[in-house]
Each structure stands twice: as structure tokens, then as C-alpha cells.
A and B are shown apart, each in its own frame.
Chain A
Amino acid sequence: MAFPDRIERTVELAHPPAKVWAALTTAEGLGAWFGNEAAIDLRPGGSARMRWSEEGYTAHMQVERVEEPAVFGFTWHIFGLPEDDPRRTYVEFTLEPAGAGTRLTVTESGFAQLPDDLYRKAYDGNTDGWAKELGELAAYLDAA
């Protein structure tokens, strides 16, 4: 069993890179095919979000690479992990001209990153802290 760290897909699109780029990097584009609604500050370090209204789910992204019209990269939260988990995967779209169209590759990597040791300690410390605090609350209520 190999822990899948990286997912990769390539699709051929019958549209020029400039058009594909707009679909990937504008609020209007992302909100039309990916989520239901999107906002994006298109610069490295800028933030973006996408909302899926039916599921009531919002993804928060951080833009990492903007090399128009060839590379667009962002990080986002690992789906299914708690909101406060600091681990994120990196998503990168690369666009190559292919005839009159575009060869689009998407890679998402970082699924197999090991939880940081410090993080693990902080996390365990946090749950211990909660148990302790609940214990203290119980003791306080017992005394009252």
C-alpha cells in the first residue's frame, strides 16, 4: 500500500489558454464551473474562497503562483480534516497550448505529509488541556 501523496489529471480543452486561464483565475470563472460563488485576490499570497451553496461548504484558498497564462497554484485545507488542522494540500494548474486548444494539467500534492511533531504535541496538549479544564469545572461545581 502506498500512501497517495499526489493526484494528477490532464485534460485537452478545445479553447485557447487565455480563455482557460480566465475560467481558472477569476471569481466569475471559478463561480461558474467549480463552486457556486467565488472571490479571488489574484496575486501570490492573496486569498480566495469558493462556496458550494447546496452543501453549505466554503473552501478557503491561498494563492501561491500566478504566471499568466501558464501556471496557477494555490493551497487549501485537506478535505475532511478538522478546520484548525494546519496541513494543506497544494493545487497547481499548468496550461500548455495544444494546437488551437489547451492541455490542462492539475496536480494536487501533500496528502501524505506527516503531521508536524510540534503540532502533534500541541494537539495532544490541547486535548489534555480540555480534559483538565473539564475536570476543574467539575471540581468547581462539586464544591459549589
Chain B
Amino acid sequence: MDVALKIWRYDSRTGERKLEEFEVDAPEWACLLDVLDIIKDKHDGTLAYRKSCRMMICGSCGMRMDGRAVLACKERMQPIAEAGHVPVISAMGNLPIVKDLVVDMGPFWNKIRSVKPWLDPGYDEVTEKERIVSQQQMNAIQKESLCIMCGCCVSECNSMEADPAFLGPAALAKGFRFVGDPREGNQVERLVAYNDEHGIWDCTRCYFCNERCPKGVDPRDAIAKLGAESIEQGIDHDMGAKHAKWFVTSAKTTGWLRETELVPKTQGILSAVKQTGFALGLARKGKVPPPFPPHVADRVKEARALHDLVGQQGRGGADGIIQMERALARAEHGEAEGAHRVSPEVTPGVQPPVAEG
């Protein structure tokens, strides 16, 4: 089949940047990576991109197709070629480009390192036996364990675009991989660290990371779980945490979001007082209801029931929150009614026993 591509070429030494079009003959089964290989072999040996396993496990070939992060080895070209579309291929976002489709992964790995990405059981290694942990407990970190560190989520992260220091979806998913591990001994310390500035509450919940992750890791879900776990552990000093908490309290008590109380509850009284003028202005235009008497929704019982239901889901309601947050549940096989996986409770600090015999 004939496949046409446009590729953004770039040279970080000269700053030269140009869009080049290529047309090649490729087999029907070709993925984007196969097409790039044909271009490099037969058309332009100077084209730079990374590759290795060509089976979605090594994480080398993250790049953008039509502005969307993909693994080149995962994107079949036949439907695109048949539709007569000429996709634009470019390097991943949020990372400095070295050459053509190759980015500098240094900043990516620095963030991974900053979440202390290794199991810290809090006691010396025992190598005589494994620890006893149920499959159900291990399932808590099943998705996060799938991460191949390709950088697609980081490429797409809107929050990181605004704040390059944001830890970002990959590092935080890695963080949850340890917080959620029943063998981990430092869950609380980790949660405190991930609650710092540029931490979990900087996520804007745009869901691009979930959507673009080629492995189904769902980094935003991991961030939501870290948030729920933090509040469960009483780590709620961040405005983001207070904001989330007040949303819940407000919805539970009156079935509505009480905006007038949101600012003092989130930012504190002092900050709220400073914004009184702004609030009065809003009130005059009828944009906020008067704080007293509290306006209670007609069907507040339903809101409360929903709150209770969510709270019953695994990990202190985290799974429930994720289900609520999902605009569209993935139509995965056997998950027709949306995500139903219930994670088990893990009690921080309680270590699993070592196997006997």
C-alpha cells in the first residue's frame, strides 16, 4: 500500500525546523514504526527516531501523530492510508527535542527519580522466603505495574505545559505503584512528599494522560488514588485537598456546591476576606446565592446515598472517585458497566508476613 507522512524534522544544534513529506510503499500490516524504517532505509538515512522491541513493551518509540502521543509500533497505518489521510509526525511534547523525533528523556527520568521509585519495606531484606500477599492485594497496583516509561502521558500533560516542575503523570503513577503496594513500609512519608508543591494537587484532571497512555496505566486514576489516600491519612494541607474535601462535604450536606463557603474552606479565612469585594460583586449580579439560609437540594437524600456508595468502594473511596470522575468508562471487555475492579484495603505500616516452610 502507498503511505504518505509528513514529518517535523528538527536539529537542536542549529535550531533548524522543517516539515517534510514522504511517500513510501509499505506492507498492509505496517505500523507507523515500519513506515519510518522504510523511510530511513530507502529515502533518508538521517531521520532520527528511537526504536527497539516493536511490540509495545520497551517504550522507546513514543512520538506524536497528528498532535497525539502514540507508540509508533502500535499504530497501524492501513486505515489511515486507505482514508487518504497524510498524518503529521512530530516529537513528543513537554520534553526538549534532540533531533527529529528523538526527545531528551533526562527531565522525565529526573522526575521518576524524585518519587523514590523503589520499594522501601522499612525493614531489612529477607531472602529466605517470599512475603505472603494475596493476589487481590497485589491487584491494587496492577495497572501502574504496566507502565513502560514511554513518556506519552508526560508529552500530553496540560498541567506540565503550564508548570514544567509538576511531577507529572508518569512519576505519580510510579509513586502510587509503591503507595499501593502492600509490602511498602513508607506509605505515609510518600504521600506527604507527593502532596508538596508541584505534586498531586497540581493535576488539572484533563484526562489526556489516561486517554493517550498506550498501555492502559491510567495515570490520572493513580493520582486520584493518591489524593483519596492522602485525605484518608489526614494529609490535607494543600489547597487542592481542601478544595476536594469541601466539594464532598458540601454535596453530602446540602446536595449542592456552596460556592460562598468554598473560598474560605479552600484558601483560608484571610484570603477569603481579601476577596470579599469580588464576592459582593458576584452576589449583586446574582452569580452566587446568599450563604444563609443554606440552600438544600430537593433530592439531597440521593446525593447522600451516592456519597455513601462511593465511600464504600476500595481504598477509602478512591475507586469510587475514579468511577465518578471518568467521563466515559472504557468499554473494556467484561467492563461494560464501567470500571468495576475493587481494590482491597491496604493498611499502611502493616507488613505482610514472610512465607514459612
A and B are partners in one complex rather than unrelated chains = no
Q: Which residues of B pack against A, CB within 8 Å?
A: none
